[in-house]
Chains A and B, each alone.
Chain A
Amino acid sequence: MNTQELITAHLDLWTGAVTHKSTAGRGRNGKIELTGIKKLRELVLELAVRGKLVDQDPSEEPASVLLERIAEERARLVKEGKIKKPKKLPEIAEEDKPFELPDGWEWARMEAISEYIQRGKGPKYANSGKVRIVSQKCVQWSSFDLNASRFVDDSSLSSYQDERYIRNNDILWNSTGTGTVGRVIIVENPRYPMVADSHVTIIRLLATEPSHILNYISSPSVQQRIEPDHENSLVSGTTKQVELNSGSVKLLAVPLPPLEEQQRIVEKVDELMALCDRLEQKAGDQLEAHEVLVDTLLDALTRSADAEELSRSWARVAEHFDTLFTTEASIDKLKQTILQLAVMGRLVEQDPNDESASVLLEKIAEEKSRLVNEGKIKKEKKRLEINQADAGFDIPKNWAWVNLGELGVFVNGDRSKNYPNREDYVASGIAWINTGHIRPDGTLTRKGMHFITREKFDSLRGGKIEPTDLVYCLRGATFGKTAFVTPYEEGAIASSLMIIRPLLPIMRKYIYSYLVSPLGRSQIFRFDNGSAQPNLSANSVMMYLVPLPPANEQRRIVEKVDELMVLCNELKARLAKAGETRTHLAEAMVDQAVN
């Protein structure tokens, strides 16, 4: 298949490529960049400036003639004293010509087709005045924003020559600083008098369609050169503080078509960009709709009142399974739903031969008394009765509602004067565990663990882990985060954490699943005081409502959850990889088309 066929045959596939950003950006999609559409726009621009977007018309006045006319015009302006006599420009060497031009086109240096190219000057600022200052902030991709602009101090206005005032059809090009430099805009019919500050370059063209030059500057082949490391770099300075000096701008070779063709190209580009805008809008809509669909169908599962409803809700999910679970976010929601169904007793069959949960509770209570008798734990006050209505669903007959405090012993860390601080950390020793060490898979990290000496550890009088413990975060933005203490058998917890020690260690996997399930997480909000930085006490956590299955059923639940989680995680990983491939495909498509 040739390039053109490749591009069009798989248009949906590669323009649909999506990349996940690690930080949320602006715009509706926040963390998601529609890379495919971005690539499509790049393709349009690259084809436009290479003369591949519209046909050449041999009857139109060729660019060589246009250039002569422009040169005449410039000479006239020099004579009239309106512009300075320009220096003789060097010929454009073959190797400086980035690509082949079609018939009727010519390469020209920016200065040759302009009457004015200059960076603004550093102004005397005022909060009000007659003339506005255009800064780099005003120059955004596709929009010109004067809201942020300040004013020139009126007293200094006399130092501004006429040509410094921004005119209709001027091109403004940001010229300083990584992330800002390279942005370019055309100003149309400025409503106020305005000048540029020293970081913005003004380009005033002669007899040239400004949008054509704008497109060229915006195209990847030019934008890529706004990197100090690029072999054909347009900028100087370090990566952090790049500068596009006006000399580079003047010398920049631009591809010049016949004037009429310029206009035709610009029209076509506008048309295609508008289509891209619509595609983007649609894609955004689709992503939103997809999210809503996933949420609705999965919620229906956990809110089903009885077996029949669950069956129907599941049937709907199954029917649309392949459309629903196409993103990592949807898999995360599926995982949460699985956990919720698990702790509701809906995931696994009840076995009437299982010893019921109440028998299990008795065993737990026995274990507790034993520990109290051995002096290992304190006897607790009597607890409040449980109000089942709080939970909002029914549990199976042989289950029981309990408070988390009945299932485990809660151990706080030592917060005395012996509390280790940074200076006490050593390269190896006993683990000093903090919230940041909790991994998403429910274990503790090896990399980045802090250690304290055995002496320091011995001096602590609390918060020491046993191998079958869980840790739970009580403070800060990460409250509710929890993990097994695997792979550590010895260690102590920092103040933001609490140890949950299951009275029957065999129950720890179920308790973990409960804590990370939506039900477990929602318990936090029964107690949190609503402040920005929630704060839980061990006593609050003890009151968490826990649905308790029979011992055997717990085992079956945990097994089924593990089985499904492994598959979900694998699916997530593969979706991510496929997404990457799609992005690579988009890049490869554009590369091939352009070269």
Chain B
Amino acid sequence: MRQVINKLQDGIDFNTQADRHQLGDMYEQILKDLQSAGNAGEFYTPRAVTEFMVNRVDPRLDEMVMDPACGTGGFLTCTIEHKRSHYVQTPEDEQSLQASIRGIEKKPLPHLLATTNLILHGIEVPEQIRHDNALARPLISWGPKERVDVILANPPFGGMEEDGIETNFPQAFRTRETADLFMTLFIQLLKEGGRAGVVLPDGFLFGEGMKTRLKEKLLTECNLHTIVRLPNGVFSPYTGIKTNLLFFSKGRPTEQIWYYEHPYPEGYKSYSKTKPMRFAEFATEIDWWGDESDGFASRQETEQAWKVGIEEIKARNYNLDIKNPWKGEQVSHDPEKLLAKYAQQQAEIQELRDQIKQILGDALNHATREEGDQV
């Protein structure tokens, strides 16, 4: 692959750091444009989000980092840059870095893009990006040796896996919804003490049934210490829904969850192609964050941050969709603001409708396949 690229791009010497870096940046831009064009959009998490999540999870030099749904490799390349700028000092360090990145991607196009992406970020031989479906193995077959220190991921929302995939999972966590199966996998794949940052939609937070059991498992086996709630439009134009960044560590049960509502920057009514989300916006969160080693003792409640104890969460039957208690409902009188609000609401409504349609259609199609046994 590398030789091919070398041949194609005369004048760009892939063996110099600087050139490669520049090309890497351009490549990122190409991937980003692909997202707006609607092709492979669902495999690209906005840069500001991946940077923030990598920054907070802070993978160390020799910690094994995996993205089992890596798409075009955004989390992995961010991790590489993070380790390089913070922890790599010698050529041996660089070798450790190279060995500590893992990804799995099911679809061929994004897998190809991810591989290329990693080459451009200096990974010599990116065979650690496997073209595979991480969900296609029995959950219990992921043994201790395959467990990792860090997981960073944005599983695809609203997708359904084919028949049979769910049988790889224990009865209690069987579902055909891709994102939920991935969550179960993430919990399994983390070592004791491992850390994770995962992007999930509102539907995961308030969903019931199997999702309730999944959330119970998550909060029992892991410490879900922080949920950052993002506003609409972060993933635009791919989807208008609201997303959440979940940060958790395996090994201790959750005692309380801190919520942080990320506001739009001053003067923004939403994000757009020309005004995308930027990493700099997360400065307040980073200042507020504190340290996991002391249980985030320095965190304060603010107009954007509030905490909820585990007892309350259990009483709510693990409904994690908890809104900011500080914000009252303010009615705007500005038609422009109202128009924007209405558009957002409609986008959320559409997502919900799509979800219901998919689940119901799926159920009916399955149920009718066994017909012929009517009495």
| Residue among A10, A563, A564 with the highest chain B CB neighbour number at 10 A | A563
The answer to whether A566 and B356 have CB atoms under 8 Å apart is: no
Residues of chain B contacted by A6 (CB below 8 angstroms): 335-336, 339
Given contacts A571-B349, A588-B334, contact A341 B364 (CB under 8 A): yes
Q: Digit string of A553-584 for contact with B (CB within 8 Å is 1, else 0)? A: 00000011011101110110011011001101
Given contacts A307-B369, A397-B375, contact A563 B209 (CB under 8 A): yes
Residues of chain B contacted by A349 (CB below 8 angstroms): 366-367, 369-370
The answer to whether A559 and B335 have CB atoms under 8 Å apart is: no
Residues of chain B contacted by A522 (CB below 8 angstroms): none
Partner pick for A347 among B331, B345, B367, CB 8 A cutoff: B367
Partner pick for B361 among A314, A559, A575, A581, CB 8 A cutoff: A314
The answer to whether B364 and A350 have CB atoms under 8 Å apart is: no
Is A361 in the interface zone, CB < 8 Å from B? Answer: no
Total A-B pairs, Cβ < 8 A: 130
Partner pick for B359 among A10, A567, A589, CB 8 A cutoff: A567
The answer to whether A346 and B364 have CB atoms under 8 Å apart is: yes
Contact residues of B between 284 and 319, Cβ < 8 Å to A: none
Complex Cα gap A306–B374 (Å): 9
Given contacts A322-B350, A396-B375, A397-B374, contact A567 B355 (CB under 8 A): yes
Complex Cα gap A322–B349 (Å): 10
Is B341 in the interface zone, CB < 8 Å from A? Answer: yes
A387 CB to nearest B CB, Å: 14
Contact residues of A between 257 and 315, Cβ < 8 Å to B: 306-307, 310-311, 314
A378 CB to nearest B CB, Å: 32
B369 CB to nearest A CB, Å: 7
Given contacts A321-B357, A396-B375, contact A314 B364 (CB under 8 A): yes
Is B208 in the interface zone, CB < 8 Å from A? Answer: yes
Q: Digit string of B89-116 for contact with A (CB within 8 Å is 1, else 0)? A: 0000000000000000000000000000
By size class, the interface of chain A is 35 or more
Partner pick for B368 among A307, A559, A581, CB 8 A cutoff: A307
Contact residues of B between 327 and 375, Cβ < 8 Å to A: 331-336, 338-339, 341-342, 345-346, 348-350, 352-353, 355-357, 359-361, 363-375
Is A116 in the interface zone, CB < 8 Å from B? Answer: no
Is B206 in the interface zone, CB < 8 Å from A? Answer: yes
The answer to whether B209 and A567 have CB atoms under 8 Å apart is: no
The answer to whether B357 and A318 have CB atoms under 8 Å apart is: yes
Contact residues of A between 302 and 349, Cβ < 8 Å to B: 306-307, 310-311, 314, 318, 321-322, 325, 334, 338, 341, 345-349
The answer to whether B342 and A321 have CB atoms under 8 Å apart is: no
Residues of chain A contacted by B209 (CB below 8 angstroms): 559-560, 562-563, 566
Is B211 in the interface zone, CB < 8 Å from A? Answer: yes
B68 CB to nearest A CB, Å: 24
The answer to whether B211 and A563 have CB atoms under 8 Å apart is: yes
Is B73 in the interface zone, CB < 8 Å from A? Answer: no
Complex Cα gap A394–B372 (Å): 11
The answer to whether B333 and A395 have CB atoms under 8 Å apart is: no
The answer to whether B353 and A325 have CB atoms under 8 Å apart is: yes
Residues of chain A contacted by B336 (CB below 8 angstroms): 1, 6
The answer to whether A577 and B345 have CB atoms under 8 Å apart is: yes
Complex Cα gap A464–B277 (Å): 59
Residues of chain A contacted by B363 (CB below 8 angstroms): 347-348, 560
The answer to whether B352 and A570 have CB atoms under 8 Å apart is: yes
Q: Digit string of A1-43 for contact with B (CB within 8 Å is 1, else 0)? A: 1000010001001000000000000000000000000000000
Complex Cα gap A307–B369 (Å): 7
A307 CB to nearest B CB, Å: 4
Closest to B358 in A: A318
Complex Cα gap A348–B209 (Å): 14
Partner pick for B356 among A395, A568, A575, A577, CB 8 A cutoff: A568
Residues of chain A contacted by B360 (CB below 8 angstroms): 338, 564
Residues of chain A contacted by B353 (CB below 8 angstroms): 321-322, 325, 571
A168 CB to nearest B CB, Å: 43
The answer to whether B375 and A394 have CB atoms under 8 Å apart is: yes
Is A592 in the interface zone, CB < 8 Å from B? Answer: yes
Residues of chain A contacted by B371 (CB below 8 angstroms): 306-307
A121 CB to nearest B CB, Å: 45
The answer to whether B342 and A13 have CB atoms under 8 Å apart is: yes
Q: Digit string of A133-170 for contact with B (CB within 8 Å is 1, else 0)? A: 00000000000000000000000000000000000000
Partner pick for B207 among A566, A575, A582, CB 8 A cutoff: A566
Partner pick for A563 among B207, B339, B370, B372, CB 8 A cutoff: B207
Is A591 in the interface zone, CB < 8 Å from B? Answer: yes
Residues of chain A contacted by B71 (CB below 8 angstroms): none
The answer to whether A592 and B206 have CB atoms under 8 Å apart is: no
Given contacts A567-B359, A588-B335, contact A559 B210 (CB under 8 A): yes
Given contacts A349-B369, A394-B374, contact A563 B359 (CB under 8 A): yes
Complex Cα gap A150–B339 (Å): 52
B36 CB to nearest A CB, Å: 24
Is B41 in the interface zone, CB < 8 Å from A? Answer: no
B191 CB to nearest A CB, Å: 31
Residues of chain A contacted by B206 (CB below 8 angstroms): 566, 570
Could you write out 20 A-B pairs with CB less than 8 Å apart?
A: A6-B339, A310-B364, A321-B353, A321-B357, A346-B368, A348-B363, A349-B367, A394-B374, A559-B210, A566-B207, A566-B208, A566-B209, A567-B352, A567-B355, A570-B206, A571-B349, A575-B349, A578-B342, A578-B349, A592-B335
Q: Closest 10 interchain pairs by CB?
A: A307-B371, A307-B368, A563-B209, A578-B345, A397-B373, A559-B209, A585-B338, A394-B374, A571-B352, A566-B208
Chain B residues within 8 Å of A, Cβ to Cβ = 203, 206-211, 331-336, 338-339, 341-342, 345-346, 348-350, 352-353, 355-357, 359-361, 363-375
Q: A310-B368, A567-B352 are known contacts; what are 19 more A-B pairs with Cβ within 8 Å?
A: A10-B335, A306-B374, A318-B361, A350-B370, A394-B375, A563-B208, A563-B210, A566-B208, A567-B203, A567-B355, A567-B359, A570-B206, A570-B352, A571-B352, A571-B356, A574-B345, A574-B349, A584-B338, A588-B338
